[in-house]
Structures are given as structure tokens and as C-alpha cells.
Structure 1
Amino acid sequence: MSGFHKIIFKNTSMFAVSQLIGIGARLICNKVAAVLIGPAGIGVLGLIDNILRLIHGVTNFGIASSSVREIALLDNEKEQSNEKSGRLIKIVYKWAIFTGVLGVMGLVLFSKQVSLVVFQTDTKYLWVIGLSSYFLFNSISSIRLAVLQAKKKVKKIVLYNIFSTVISAVISIVAYYIYGIDGIIPAIVISTISNFLLSIYFTKSIAVSEVKIAANQVFKEGLPIAKLGLLLSTSAVFGQLCFYIIRWYLIEYHSYEILGVYQVGNTFLVGYIGLVFAAMSNDFYPRLCNFEEDKEQFDALVNDQTELALLVVVPAILVLYVMAPYLIPILYSNEFLDVLLILKIGLISVVLKAIAWPIGFIALIKGNKALFLKQNLLSNSVNVIGSLIGFYYFGLLGLGIAMVVMFLVYGVYTYVTVVRYYNFKYRKDTLHIMLASLLLCLLVLSVFLVYEFKGFNLVLAVIASFSMLYSFFKLRHRLIK
């Protein structure tokens, strides 16, 4: 048994605190949004978010993600690591401004087209131009947060996340209350400026080189990071493009109300439960970089992270199954009850993600750009194809099925490739936890063959209780060793 469980659990617990506060703030914000702007407004919000992420993916070169790896690796060097790290941080800060300006120019250039897509009219292009400032402020804050992650400044990241989420929620609620749907863009812009100021504050103690660096040197020394980042960016852009296709299809052939239901489904699967992975990745990714050359420790950390992910995610999913029929009307409104059709099968995809997610980092950290890109292109392709076909034949239920198929295909492909290229192996203990988790998922699916997913289900409650006890004793056993 490796010794990473305590470290992972401690740091994940710290991040979990911020994520729980974040969930609370989002729950309140989403409830207010559901009442004040309704399903159509939430659909518009999801579409704007999708477009912003798409343009950001094209223009940011993935600098934030790739810089985490490079700065974390530099910190492993004993000699002159501080000097090299400070210089690299200064370079990525300058790249952040450059990529942010590119994003501004991109949205301004296509402002009328974006206005037409989002608002069904090009007359609101000035609103879209105002929204372009998002890219500059977001680019800078993203890079600075990446530096904190690479430096493993856990407490500062936690505090940033707490303040960022709470302030953004307050800003959004006020904007929706005063302006309704028209408050969406002002809320995004003001929240982004707030996050920018917070990132400046929390990174002010990070050492940055005082040596003047010429523009051509900034470009030359930052180019390797940009090349790796471009790969991550390509993957992110393709993913957002796939999500855009799904959203476009729902609007074109159905309605904004259906899009709003889909958006809420994604919020549950990615925004709420997905926060578990966000909490873990803040520590897991840079820590795994530290063991790139130590295969035994590297594999042990991946195994430990997989175990912890499953022991946390599976009971959370099962509890959500029990509570979802009551949470949807409370958190949103009765208009969103159709979300249950997505969650009925879709929640299982999060368990599959908990298995596939840790091994998905291996190719990236090992520097195998082509393999990492293939993994992500495959998963997103399966998602968009599965969603369109699934929705056509099964409606909202088909969207949940598509998510399960996506992570199943992605997980199998990723596992086969990391075994082939890096001789990665799961421990027996990890395999046992994976098997138990998958059996619980199959048991839940079998319950739905008999019962409807509408109200309280005693069988699901019993399964959830068993899962919580199982996770408690497994975690206790690992943490006291």
C-alpha cells in the first residue's frame, strides 16, 4: 500500500470545503436564475458560456494548463529552480495578456454573428462587444491560478475559489433581479473583473523575475509551452464545438426550454458532481508531474487517486439518485423536472469518469501529445454523435445514455493505451473498489427496470446507505495506515 492516501485526502478535503461553499452559492444563484430568467434564460446563459469557452479555447493556446506542468517540473530542480521558475512565470504572465487580447479581437470580429446565434438578432452586437473584455481578464486570472496550482499553494487556491464563487453568485443574483435576461452579460463581465482582482491579490507573493525580458525572448521561451498548450487548446476547442453542436441541435429542432433542461442536466453532472474532480485535480495534476520519472510512485499515485475518487463519488451519486426528484423543484422549479430523464442514466457516467479520469492525465504528463489528443477527440466525438442519435430516438433519456457511452469508450481506450505505452497496472485493491463501484451502478440500473425515477425509492436509499458505509470503512482503513 502506498502512502499517498493521507496527502490526497487532506488536500482534497481542503479543496472540498471551497467546492461545498461554491455549490451552496451556485445553488442559490441557480434557484434565483430559474425563477427570474426561467428555462429559456438558462438556455441562453449556457449558450453564451459555450461560445465564450469555444473562443477562449481557440485564442488562449492552453497556456494555463501547460504552464502548470512546466512550472511544477522546474520546482523539482534543486539548482537555480527559483530563478528559472520566476523567469518562466514572468513569461507566461506576458503570454496571458497576449492571448487575452486575441480573445477580445475574436469576439469583436464576430460580434454580430454571436448576437444572431444567442439572441436570434444581430442588433445586440454592442452587448457582445462589451462581453469581449471577459477574455483579457479571464486569461490573466487563469494563468495566475495555474501558477498557484503549480506551486501547490493549496490554501490560497481554496480561498480564491471561495471568494470567487460567492462574489460571482451575488453579482449574478443582483443582475438577474434588476435586468432579468439582459443581466446575463453584465453579470459575466463584472464577475470576471472580480476574479481578475482576486487573482492579483492571491499571487502577489509569488516570486517573479525582475530581469527585463525582450518581446522576442518572451515569444521564443514561451513557444514550447504554447505548443503543448495548443494541443490542450485544440482538445478543448473540439469539446466545446461538440457541445455547441448539441446545443444548436436542441434549439434548431426543439426549443430554448429543452436547451435549458439540458443545461441544468450538465450543471448537475459537471457543475455539482464535477466539482469533486475539480477539487482533486488541483492537487493531483501537479503532484503527478513530480513523479514523472519514478514509475513505482507514479503508478501508486494514480491508483490511490482512483480509489479516493470512487470512494467519494459513488456514494455522492447514489445519494443524489435518492434526492434528485426533490432537489430539482427546490433548486430550480417544476419546469425542470424533465432533467430527471437525463440524470436517470447520466449519473452513472460520473462513476465511469472517476475510473477513467486519473489515467487520462498519464499521456499528458509523459509528454505524449498525440495520444492525449486522440483520447479527448475520441470522447468528444462519441459524446456529440451519441447525444444527437440518443436524443432523436430516446429524447432526454438519450442524452444521459450518450454520456455513459462516452466515458465507457474513453475509459477503455485510455486504459488500453496507457498499458501499452507505459505498462501501467492497477493494484488488486484498486480493482476490487472499481468492481464494487460498477456492481453498484448495475444494481441501480436494474432498479430502474422496475421502478420509476420520480419520488422516494427505498431500494435506492438502501443501496446508497450501503455505499456510504463501504466507502467509510475503506477510507478509514487507508487513512489510519
Structure 2
Amino acid sequence: MKQKKFHRIIFKNTGLFGLSQLIKMGVRLVSNKVAALFLGPMGIGIIGLLENILALIQGFTNFGIASSSVREIALVTNDTLEENLQEQRLLKIIYKWALTTGVLGLLVTLLFAKRISLEVFESESNYKWIMVLGIYFIFTSISTIRIAILQAKTKVVSIVKYNIVIAIFSSIISIIGYYFFGINGIIPVVLFTSLIGFLVSLYFTRNIKILPSSISIKQTFKEGLPMAKLGLLLSVSVIFGQICFYLIRWFLKENYSFEILGLYQVSNTILVGYLGLVFTAMSNDFYPRLCNYENDKESFNNLVNDQTELALFIVVPAVFVLYLIAPYLIKLLYSKEFLEVLLILKIGLVAIVLKAIAWPIGYIPLIKGNKLLYLKQNLLGDGINVIASIVFFYYFGLLGLGLAMVVMFLISGIYNYYVAINYYNFKFRKDTLRVLFFSIISSIIALFSIFIFDFILFNPILIILTLVSGIYSLRHLKNKI
């Protein structure tokens, strides 16, 4: 019965988050289409590079407070007065750290504005706009912390509403900016989007109480330091990942062109931005919930197994559908200029199935408090990604970028499982292993069918696989929920 309860809770909350992500994806389709039409592959490449650099600065300056605070808040959240006061004190400390790290991001941006402008736009002429963009880090730091608090307190409905509102406003801003100003609208769009995120996050966390009494700077630093230490390790992982993505983008831009960089950016948008929404939706509920079962071995293992099954039930049919409609989807979302992205997706889509297996077990060391082991897992995956992407692109072109993703998730998945069984005695249940086997075999068959028939709508093997996987997933979900 407990296992059915887990499945029911996971499915319900993932469904709510999934709904917001679908709406988010829907409104982004329009803004992406506008960006593709008015910016072209070059403009898309610039957006990807700018976002990469902003993420790097944020990784260096935010100390991972948002990520580490989720666990701490989840552990102290309670209805008792004593623990409620403890939570309010913790929230006040977290807010102060958020503002401080945001200001630090602003200072770094001011310091390197000319260099960033030269790297992104190949000219220093936009450095004043880059300096103004530094405010982005204050807005983003505060909004990210506030949404992390909602996540820790499992305020599912509030997070869903926040995602929907942000998606709608962000798309409107993007459409106006790109339509009227083209490439010159990229920085204002990023800045105004972060401002909207900041304002909306304030609204949705307005009823969350913090300690009314003041806390000294010394106490704020002392009590927030443990979170900063954990967050710093998580930040190292994020920073290293962003550096790896930057190296791939730099390699493509310097040795090939902004157009190739744009194609790579679009592939990431589809694989990470669209299919990745499944994992984003799940992580909002999975991470804080898993924290609650840290000391309950049976429930902990069952929750990881259930999450793995649910991820595969959703991802596998979604991947097969994307294989069928990818050419039409790219023309709809972007334009014919981006059809070469299909070469990346040809193998890259299968990588998402592997990610669905590696992703839930990858959380285990983090929840168990083994920060260094969690860091090793992430560094291994990102390191493999950058090396494989550069080497495989050199030999196989765009096809190699998709192959690199498969290699990354295959090796990191094997390592994550090795860590889970050897350090934490984790095991996949028999029913979970059957789902894994079905997912992997059907994905291999789908991959072979793509190399035989290429991307055509009436691929008989893929149509059968899509129907079978859809029925398989629905039947199992019905039994488990």
C-alpha cells in the first residue's frame, strides 16, 4: 500500500508540475519562433552563449544557497511553535545571503563587462548594456531563493502558478524585444524577464513569515556558513558543468560558426528545455520528499524506484513521438534553416532515456550527506560531455554531438548505480528492472529504425514502438496508482 501511495503522490505532484511545464513550453514555442525568424541561427547562438556566461557568473557568486537551503528548510519545517521560529530565523538568514550573493554577481559583471561584451557580441560596444545587465543577478538571486523555499515547503500549487505566470510574461517580453529590436533586444529581454521573475516571486511568498527581530551580520554569516559550504560544493558542480558547456560553445564558435553554435543551442533547447521539463517537474517534488525518508531505508529505496519507473513511463513514449514529428516540430518552432538539428537528435534523443535512469539514483549521495561523492558524479558526467562532444564533433560532425550525450549518460548512469549499490546498498526492484529492460531495448530498436528509415512520419517500426510503449506505460500507471 505504501508503494501505491508513493506512486499516487509522485504522479499527482508531477502532473501538477507537468501541467505548468506544458503551459510554459506552449508559450515558449511562440517566443522561440519569433526568435528564430528575427534573430536566425546566429542570434540563437548569441542567446545561448550569453545565458551560458550568466550561469557561470551566477555559479561563482551564489554559493549554491538556493540548492542547499531546500534540504535545510525541509528538515525544520513543522507546525510546532519552536520549530516554526527556527524556520523563520533560517529564512531571514537565507534572504540576507541571497541579497549579498546577488550584489556580488552585479560587481563581477561590472568588472568584466567589456570582456563579456567582446566574447558574446565580438565587440566591446555593448559593454554598458552588460553593466546594466548586472542587476539581473540581484533579481535572479532573490527570486531563486524564494522559489526554493516554496519547493522545500512543498507548496506545489504556488510553484505551478509561478511557472505559468513567468512563462507568459517572459514570452510576451521576448516577442516584443526580438520583433522590434532584433539582436539588440537580447539583453533587455533577459533583464526585464529577471525583473518579472523577481516581482512574481515576491507575490507568491508574501505570506511566508520570517523572524521579525534583527540578526547581526556576524550571526547571519555564522549560521548561513554551513549552507554555503554545502552549496559551494553544489556550485562547483554547476560551475564545472557551465564551463564544460562554454568550452563546447567556444569550440563551435571559434572553429566553425555562430550558425553551428545556434544549431547546438536549439538541440539543447529541445533535449533539455523541452524533454528536460519532465525532470524539472519531477525534481520539484522528488528532492524535498526524498529528504523526509533519509533514515527510512525501505521507503527511501521504494521512492527512488518509483521515481525511476515514472520517469521512464513518461520519457520513453515522449522520445518516440519526438522521433516521429521532429522535422515538422523544428520547422514549426524555428524554421527550415534549423533542420540540421535532426543530425544531433538522431542519437541524442536516446540519451534522455538513459538520463531517466541515471537521474533519480544520482540524488542518493546528496540526500545522504555525502557531498564529495555527489560532486564526483556530476564532474564525471560533465567532463565526459565536453571531451566526447569536441572529439565526436570533429570526427562525425553534428551527429557526434548527439552521440556524446549518449556516452555521457551511459557512463555516468553506470557510475551512479555503482555508487548507489556499494555505498548505500540500493537495489532496483524486480518490477523496476523489467521497466528498465523494456525501455532500453525499445530505445535501441527505435534508434536502429531511425538509421534505416531516417526522419519520416510513417516509420512503421517507430509507430508500433510508440503505440506499444504508450499502452505499456498507461497500463502500469493504472495498476500502480
Partner of 1:333: 335
Q: Secondary structure at the match of 1:52?
A: helix
* Contact 1:91–1:221, Cα closer than 8 Å, also in 2: yes
Superposed displacement of residue 455, structure 1: 4.8
- Equivalents in 1 of 2:35, 2:454: separation in Å? 29
- Equivalents in 1 of 2:452, 2:193: separation in Å? 46
Superposed displacement of residue 135, structure 1: 0.3
Partner of 1:4: 6
Aligned match of 1:221 in 220, 223, 236? 223
- Equivalents in 2 of 1:267, 1:79: separation in Å? 45
Superposed displacement of residue 76, structure 1: 5.8
With the length of structure 1 as denominator, give the TM-score of the two structures: 0.98
- Equivalents in 1 of 2:29, 2:465: separation in Å? 26
* Contact 1:72–1:289, Cα closer than 8 Å, also in 2: yes
Partner of 1:374: 376
Partner of 1:68: 70
Aligned match of 1:365 in 364, 367, 388? 367
Partner of 1:384: 386
| Residue type of the alignment partner of 1:173 | I
Partner of 2:260: 258
* Contact 2:324–2:456, Cα closer than 8 Å, also in 1: no
| Residue type of the alignment partner of 1:325 | P
Answer with 119-128 or 54-63: which moved more: 119-128
| Residue type of the alignment partner of 2:154 | K
Aligned match of 2:429 in 423, 427, 430? 427
With the length of structure 2 as denominator, give the TM-score of the two structures: 0.98
* Contact 1:12–1:279, Cα closer than 8 Å, also in 2: yes
- Equivalents in 1 of 2:103, 2:326: separation in Å? 42
- Equivalents in 1 of 2:340, 2:242: separation in Å? 24
* Contact 1:326–1:455, Cα closer than 8 Å, also in 2: no
Partner of 2:178: 176
Q: Which runs of 5 or more residues in structure 2 are unaligned? A: none
- Equivalents in 2 of 1:147, 1:163: separation in Å? 18
- Equivalents in 1 of 2:80, 2:387: separation in Å? 48
Could you list the per-position Cα deviations for residues 119-160 of structure 1 after superposition, in whole angstroms to 9, with x for gaps in the alignment? 111121111111111100000000000000000000000000
Q: Secondary structure at the match of 1:91?
A: helix
Answer with 191-200 or 204-213: which moved more: 204-213
- Equivalents in 2 of 1:441, 1:342: separation in Å? 16
Could you list the per-position Cα deviations for residues 314-352 of structure 1 after superposition, in whole angstroms to 9, with x for gaps in the alignment? 101111111101111111000000010000000011100
* Contact 1:76–1:290, Cα closer than 8 Å, also in 2: no
- Equivalents in 2 of 1:305, 1:402: separation in Å? 25
Could you list the per-position Cα deviations for residues 179-222 of structure 1 after superposition, in whole angstroms to 9, with x for gaps in the alignment? 00100000000010000000000001112111210010000000
Could you list the per-position Cα deviations for residues 377-417 of structure 1 after superposition, in whole angstroms to 9, with x for gaps in the alignment? 00000000000001000000000000000011111001101
Task: Output aligned runs, 1:198-213, within 5 Å.
Answer: 198-213=200-215
Pair 1:191-2:224 in alignment: no
Pair 1:275-2:271 in alignment: no
- Equivalents in 2 of 1:149, 1:304: separation in Å? 20
Aligned match of 2:248 in 242, 246, 249? 246
- Equivalents in 2 of 1:246, 1:213: separation in Å? 44
Superposed displacement of residue 454, structure 1: 4.8
Size of the aligned set, in residue pairs, is 479
Partner of 2:47: 45
* Contact 2:301–2:427, Cα closer than 8 Å, also in 1: yes
- Equivalents in 2 of 1:463, 1:294: separation in Å? 38
Superposed displacement of residue 33, structure 1: 0.5
* Contact 1:323–1:456, Cα closer than 8 Å, also in 2: no
| Residue type of the alignment partner of 1:227 | K
Pair 1:313-2:315 in alignment: yes
Task: Output aligned runs, 1:147-162, within 5 Å.
Answer: 147-162=149-164
* Contact 2:355–2:413, Cα closer than 8 Å, also in 1: yes
Moved over 6 A (4+): none
Task: Output aligned runs, 1:95-110, within 5 Å.
Answer: 95-110=97-112
Could you list the per-position Cα deviations for residues 248-295 of structure 1 after superposition, in whole angstroms to 9, with x for gaps in the alignment? 000011100110000000000000000000000000000000011111
Partner of 1:134: 136
Partner of 1:412: 414
Superposed displacement of residue 77, structure 1: 8.7
Partner of 1:323: 325
> Identity of counterpart residues, as a percentage?
59
Alpha-carbon spacing, 1:396–1:454, altered in 2? closer, same or farther (3 Å): farther
Superposed displacement of residue 310, structure 1: 0.5
Q: Secondary structure at the match of 2:309?
A: helix
Task: Output aligned runs, 1:72-91, within 5 Å.
Answer: 72-75=74-77, 80-91=82-93
Answer with 68-77 or 87-96: which moved more: 68-77
* Contact 1:71–1:85, Cα closer than 8 Å, also in 2: yes
Alpha-carbon spacing, 1:77–1:368, altered in 2? closer, same or farther (3 Å): farther
* Contact 2:78–2:84, Cα closer than 8 Å, also in 1: no
Q: Secondary structure at the match of 1:37?
A: helix
* Contact 1:59–1:103, Cα closer than 8 Å, also in 2: yes
- Equivalents in 2 of 1:241, 1:449: separation in Å? 33
Superposed displacement of residue 453, structure 1: 2.5
Superposed displacement of residue 301, structure 1: 0.6
* Contact 1:25–1:166, Cα closer than 8 Å, also in 2: yes
Could you list the per-position Cα deviations for residues 151-184 of structure 1 after superposition, in whole angstroms to 9, with x for gaps in the alignment? 0000000000000011001001000011001000
Pair 1:350-2:352 in alignment: yes
Partner of 1:22: 24
Superposed displacement of residue 78, structure 1: 5.5
| Residue type of the alignment partner of 1:252 | E
Pair 1:459-2:433 in alignment: no
| Residue type of the alignment partner of 1:16 | G
* Contact 1:54–1:240, Cα closer than 8 Å, also in 2: yes
Could you list the per-position Cα deviations for residues 424-455 of structure 1 after superposition, in whole angstroms to 9, with x for gaps in the alignment? 11110111001100011110122133222355
Q: Which runs of 5 or more residues in structure 1 are unaligned? A: none
Q: Secondary structure at the match of 2:452?
A: coil
Partner of 1:286: 288
- Equivalents in 2 of 1:4, 1:287: separation in Å? 10
| Residue type of the alignment partner of 2:385 | N
Could you list the per-position Cα deviations for residues 77-132 of structure 1 after superposition, in whole angstroms to 9, with x for gaps in the alignment? 95722111111011000000000001001111111110110011112111111111
- Equivalents in 1 of 2:261, 2:458: separation in Å? 27
RMSD of the alignment, in Å? 1.0
* Contact 2:324–2:455, Cα closer than 8 Å, also in 1: no
